[in-house]
Structure 1
Amino acid sequence: MADEEGKGGSVPVIIAMKGHPGTGKTTLARSLASTLKIPLIDKDDVRDSTLTLQEAGVSSSLLNDMSYGAIWQLASTQLRLGLSVVVDSPLSRRAHLDRLLQIATSGGARLVVVECRPADEDEWRRRLERRGGGEDEDEASWHKPSTWREMERLLESYDGCTDYDAGNVPKVVVDTTAGVAVHELVYSVVEFIKTHTTLQS
């Protein structure tokens, strides 16, 4: 991708969020997009709009796959316009990362991964159940786990597939339960991104 950099413009960047529900991923994604003034593409925004299809009998797995397909297409469009993007999804399978790599390559972009991995499981559990209890309506979503038991079942269904090697893709892991203010997390993530891309804040 040195050719794109040699044209005098910056190379678009896909900032791919990764993490389970309730880990603070969306809060960080929104703050990154706002700070960097770039589009945010949130898989949940697409999935939230499929409720009537699910009620009509369309399977959850198909709707989930459709939601991923929609965000991949939206990301591709932004890259064609020369815009960097934040893509907010669990990125729970290596195939999802591979798809973003294809999109980055075809769009002449760089890809970095920001993984939210809470070290304090008790705090993670409290956040998840607060959201499920309706205390945080902005984060509430009918298709996401609302209890810790539901979260445990989701993790069991993954059977460890979420802990894949990102290969040569630059990745930073953020502990969102470390008691660090969001703006400080954003600053550290932006500095990481700048060391691996031409993105300017």
Structure 2
Amino acid sequence: MAESSKSLSQSHQPFIIAMKGHPGTGKSTLACALARALGLPLLDKDDIRNCTIPLQHLLPQSQSQPLLNDLSYCTLFAVAQTQARLGLSVILDSPLSNRSRLDEVVALGAKRVIVVECRPGDETEWRRRLEERGREEGGTGGHKPATWEELRRLIEGYNGCDEYDVAGDMVERIVIDTTAVGVSIDDMVTKVVQLIISL
């Protein structure tokens, strides 16, 4: 599967795979598996945002969080646009928590955008994964929620803007239940690859 997937990414018109989903839904795990299977670069918004953490003390938290989040997206999309301009496919890992972020991805100039939305059906398992990650990071997720309560507050703060229609001439979407019993990460990768082949 890996070899055919890599040749697929080289033979197809350039595309962007844009991950979508709340923290702890498994989108980064799936994004890494897709990057390996397809032989594509993976650009992770969290990698960029983590580099801005030392800047957080320069402004009050109410100002620094949105400002540094916007800076992280701006940097992510600038790097992705260079890849698109070169005719290269790329995977973007970010929450895409509102429609304007997806519009920015579409504006990058790739021939096709594939949104891979990670939506866990088992909330108990989702919570377990999120809180396990929080414990591994010492109880502080930096800019990411480390507890279920923090995640709920984050989602409430979206005021529903994270639920939006992704349909469009250039955009395809696939929803993956990352907690489905008996479905391996390889199975999830296969579903995404099959969608790419069908385009």
Structure 1 segments, 4+ long, off by >3 Å, are none
Distance 1:141 1:186 in 2: 27
Q: Deviations over 1:76-96 (max 9, x none)?
A: 111122210000000000000
Give the structure 1 partner of residue 148 of structure 2.
148
TM-score by length of 2: 0.87
Say which SS state the counterpart of residue 107 (structure 2) adopts.
helix
Residue 62 (structure 1) aligned with residue 64 (structure 2): no
Give the structure 2 partner of residue 195 of structure 1.
198
Q: Per-residue deviation at 1:189?
A: 1.1
Give the structure 2 partner of residue 37 of structure 1.
39
Aligned residue identity for 1:65: D
Q: Per-residue deviation at 1:192?
A: 1.1
Deviates more, 1:185-194 or 1:61-70: 185-194
- The number of equivalent residue pairs is 181
Residue 167 (structure 1) aligned with residue 170 (structure 2): no
Work out whether residues 48 and 141 of structure 1, in 8 Å CA contact, stay in contact via their aligned partners in 2: no
Aligned residue identity for 2:145: P
Distance 1:60 1:182 in 2: 32
Aligned residue identity for 1:144: K
Aligned residue identity for 2:64: S
Aligned residue identity for 1:64: N
Gap runs ≥5 in structure 1: 1-8, 197-201
Q: Per-residue deviation at 1:132?
A: 0.4
Give the structure 1 partner of residue 4 of structure 2.
none
Deviates more, 1:76-85 or 1:55-64: 55-64
Identity across matched positions, percent: 54
Gap runs ≥5 in structure 2: 1-10
Distance 1:39 1:80 in 2: 15
Distance 2:141 2:39 in 1: 25
Give the structure 2 partner of residue 103 of structure 1.
108
Deviates more, 1:58-67 or 1:43-52: 58-67
Distance 2:118 2:151 in 1: 16
For 1:3-18, what aligned pairs fall within 5 Å after superposition?
10-18=12-20
Work out whether residues 77 and 108 of structure 2, in 8 Å CA contact, stay in contact via their aligned partners in 1: yes
Aligned residue identity for 1:54: Q
Distance 2:163 2:197 in 1: 25
Q: RMSD between aligned alpha carbons?
A: 1.4
Distance 2:58 2:79 in 1: 26
Residue 119 (structure 1) aligned with residue 121 (structure 2): yes
TM-score by length of 1: 0.86
Pick from 175, 185, 188 the counterpart of residue 185 of structure 1: 188
